[in-house]
Every structure is written in C-alpha cells, then in structure tokens.
C-alpha cells in the first residue's frame, strides 16, 4: 500500500520517525511531507534512513517537473496526517491550500481515506473553534479524525490532547476500512475467563487474546462493524485499538459474565465468533480467603455454563457461528463429537498446551502461530500450522462468502 504521511508542527512530531519505521517494516511504501512548522523540529533526511521512499520539505512542491501535490495525491492509497496541529486542523476544515500538505489533501480523491491524529494543548483542543473544525473535518469524504489521549503534555499540564502512542496509531492505520461498502455486524469473544475460588485465588488459562486481536484487525480492515467481548490477565489486550470507529469493546471477567454479555450482544448480529478460552470449571465461591486448615484435599466445583451451546439454541436462520475448540490432541473423533453437539458453520480446532507440567514451550498460547484443524461441517477445510494472521485472513474470507 502507498501511504503518504503529512507531519505538521507539533512537539510530538518526532514520533513520526518511529511511525515511518514501523510502517515500512509492515510493507508500506511511505512518502513523507513536512510542514514548515514540522521542519523546525525534525529533519527530512532521517526519514529516508528509517524506510521512507522519499521525504519532501515545505518548499519542495514546485521543485520537480511534476506538480507534486497532485502527483502525490494520485500516488497514495491512504493519507495520514500525524501529528495534526490545531492550525493544520483549522486549515483543512476550511479548505485552505496555503502549503504543500494542505494542497495535497484538497487534491485527494474522495474515495481515498485520510486519517488525522491531532496533538495539542488541552485548552486549545477544548476551544469551541477547534472543536467546530474537528467536527467539520470529520464530515469530509473519507476523512476520520481520531481522539487524543490524556496524559502529561509537553507544556507540563495534564489533560487531553496528547498524541496517541505509535503502536496505537499503527494498529488504527492497518485496520482502517479499505472500503465504504456495507458490511456485517459481527460479535467476537476472545481472551480468557477468570473464575474465582475466593477473594484471592481463581482459575484461568494462558490465553492472551492474540488470535482475537488478529481476527479483529482483519475484519475491521474489511469494513465490518465489530463488537468484542474480551477478558483474561493480558492487560494490554485491545489497548492499541483505542479510537477505532467501527469497534465496540466490552470487558468481561467470569464465564457467567461472558454468558450474560454474549447473549445480550448476539441479538441482531450477523456472525458470532466464539474464540474466547472460557473455563469449563467454576468453583463454589467462598468470601475472603480459604484458610489452609480448611483445604482438606478437595474443592467443590461445577461445570460452567456452555455459552456456545446457548447461542446455537437462540440463533436465527440468517446468523452464522464460528466456533473454537482448544484441545491437547486434535483427535478427529473428539472434534466430530463436538460438531455433532454444537453444529457451528465453521470450526477452528487448536492444539494447545500450557507447557507448565511438561516443562516445554507452550503450544497455541502466547504465540503468533499454532497447529489447527479447520472444519466446514464435518469436512476438513485445512490442517497444519498457521500464523494467527493467516488464520484471521481465512476467517475473514469465509465470512465474505456468507
């Protein structure tokens, strides 16, 4: 993908260096325009060493045979303005074309997305004029203005206006919809449940939610509207998706909590992807901490509610369901038995092992790849090792046929 990065005058403009490097690593062809203000903070030559195929200063527009702001608008598939100062937001919102970057924005075809990442002082951000300009800019074609985050600003004040982290910006760029065509409403569960024994102890598993994040990234890029119910001990799960316009995030804890939220959100959805690693066991909860002298060698526990089974009972004819089965052995008879009990439209059977008892590297958990058997009905669609990015792509492709 050809990506044009317009860097404007902000103390946070140095983050454009890291953004360029990471975009280049992911295969983007990046070209950079620096505004007059940005060129006071950073130098264009360094972008070339970080992977950009070209970088232009504020005076370079008419220094070539071509009219560069027209040529670059034609060349790029996506324009990113990061950071976007209050001055730049105001100029873009009001149709100004008094420099290289703003002229390029006006020349951009209306079908091409432009992603704007503001950065400024809190009081500037809160000013009615700036808020009006952000709203106006947001209304243009495929321009999307992302939120800022709260934190310590360069002026030593604390509040909104801080530029999003580079990882967050990178995720939003790589998962932004490539098309405006009407898509599906999809529900995804991911991560792990946490079922308490008492106020101190609980049972869970090592599921990190990496698979869910990759599926979400692929589905959002395809333009779908996504609701994600997620849980577990991974504190960074979905942090980098903050601000995505097509994403709704819902935190869950216990298996019962997942059940309540899943059944509520499933209503009206086109597809449910049940990728969460939910505990089959729940304890008889004890308030406080169970003392050692009360641990008599056995703990009371029950089988947890089966969310996927309840979803299949409630689904309407048009609703599709993708199930996940985590097993230590992908025995076909075990998988077919599961399919007979819970006849999902597509099943992802994953070989997993925490590795703790065998003192070996974990399988399936905390990894970017795993061993899978994919079933469509009782027919094996694929079997073997896959990167989770590839699994996400397969799931997106299957959904596209429904």
Of 349, 337, 263, 266, give the one whose Cα is nearest residue 307. Answer: 263
Residue 205's contacts (CB-CB under 8 Å, 6 or more residues apart) are 192, 277, 279, 354, 365
Cα torsion 351, 193, 304, 317 to 10°: value is -80
Our measurement of the distance from residue 110's CA atom to the centroid of its chain's CA atoms, rounded to an integer in Å, reads: 25
Q: What's the half-sphere exposure (Cβ side, CA atoms, 13 Å) at 295?
A: 7
Question: What is the number of other CB atoms lying within 10 angstroms of the CB of residue 243?
Answer: 18
Range list of β-strands (E), 236-277 = 247-251, 271-274
147 closest CA partner among 122, 128, 119 = 119
The residues, any chain, with a CB within 8 Å of residue 145's CB and separated by 6 or more, are: 84, 89, 116, 118, 134, 137, 138
Nearest by Cα to 345 from 389, 393, 399: 399
Helix ranges, 272-375 (H): 307-314, 332-341
Whether omega for the bond prior to residue 196 falls within 30 degrees of 0, making it cis, is no
* Closest alpha carbon to 187 in 302, 281, 274: 274
The H-assigned helical ranges of 203-352 are 210-221, 255-266, 307-314, 332-341
Q: Is 155 a catalytic residue?
A: yes
Task: Give how far Cα 291 sits from Cα of 149, 286, 380, 397, Å.
Answer: 44, 11, 49, 52
Out of 55, 76, 114, 155, the active site residue is 155
End-to-end CA distance of the chain: 27
How far apart, in whole angstroms, are the C-alpha atoms of residue 76 and residue 302? 57
Pairing of β 29-34 and β 2-7: parallel
Closest CA to 275 of 217, 213, 225: 213
Residues annotated as catalytic are: 155
């Amino acid at each position: 993908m050809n990506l044009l990065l317009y860097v404007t005058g902000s103390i946070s403009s140095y983050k454009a260096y890291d953004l360029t490097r990471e975009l280049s690593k992911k295969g983007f062809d990046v070209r950079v325009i620096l505004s007059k203000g940005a060129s006071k903070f950073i130098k264009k030559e360094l972008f070339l060493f970080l992977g950009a195929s070209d970088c232009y200063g504020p005076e370079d527009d008419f220094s070539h045979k071509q009219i560069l702001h027209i040529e670059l608008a034609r060349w790029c598939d996506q324009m990113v303005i990061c950071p976007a100062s209050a001055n730049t937001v105001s100029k873009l919102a009001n149709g100004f074309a008094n420099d290289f970057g703003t002229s390029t924005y006006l020349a951009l075809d209306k079908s091409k997305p432009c992603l704007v990442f503001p950065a400024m002082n809190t009081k500037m951000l809160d000013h009615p004029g700036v808020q009006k300009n952000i709203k106006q800019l947001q209304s243009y074609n495929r321009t999307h203005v992302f939120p800022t985050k709260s934190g310590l600003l360069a002026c030593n004040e604390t509040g909104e206006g801080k530029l999003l982290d580079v990882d967050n910006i990178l995720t939003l760029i790589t998962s932004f919809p490539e098309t405006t065509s009407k898509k599906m409403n999809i529900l995804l569960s991911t991560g792990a449940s946490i079922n308490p024994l008492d106020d101190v102890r609980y049972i869970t598993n090592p599921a990190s939610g990496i698979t869910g994040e990759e599926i979400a990234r692929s589905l959002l890029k395809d333009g779908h509207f996504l609701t994600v119910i997620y849980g577990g001990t991974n504190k960074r799960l979905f942090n980098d998706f903050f601000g995505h316009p097509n994403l709704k995030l819902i935190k869950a804890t216990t298996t019962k909590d997942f059940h309540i939220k899943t059944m509520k959100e499933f209503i009206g959805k086109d597809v449910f992807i049940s990728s969460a690693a939910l505990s089959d066991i729940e304890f008889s909860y004890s308030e406080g901490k169970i003392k050692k002298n009360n641990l008599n060698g056995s703990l009371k526990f029950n089988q947890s509610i089966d969310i996927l089974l309840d979803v299949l009972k409630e689904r309407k004819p048009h609703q599709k369901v993708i199930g996940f089965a985590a097993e230590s052995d992908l025995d076909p008879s075990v998988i077919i038995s599961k399919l007979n009990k819970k006849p999902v439209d597509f099943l992802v059977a994953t070989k997993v092992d925490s590795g703790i008892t065998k003192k070996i590297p974990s399988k399936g958990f905390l990894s970017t790849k795993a061993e899978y058997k994919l079933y469509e009905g009782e027919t094996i669609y694929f079997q073997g090792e896959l990167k989770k990015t590839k699994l996400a792509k397969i799931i997106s492709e299957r959904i596209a046929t429904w």
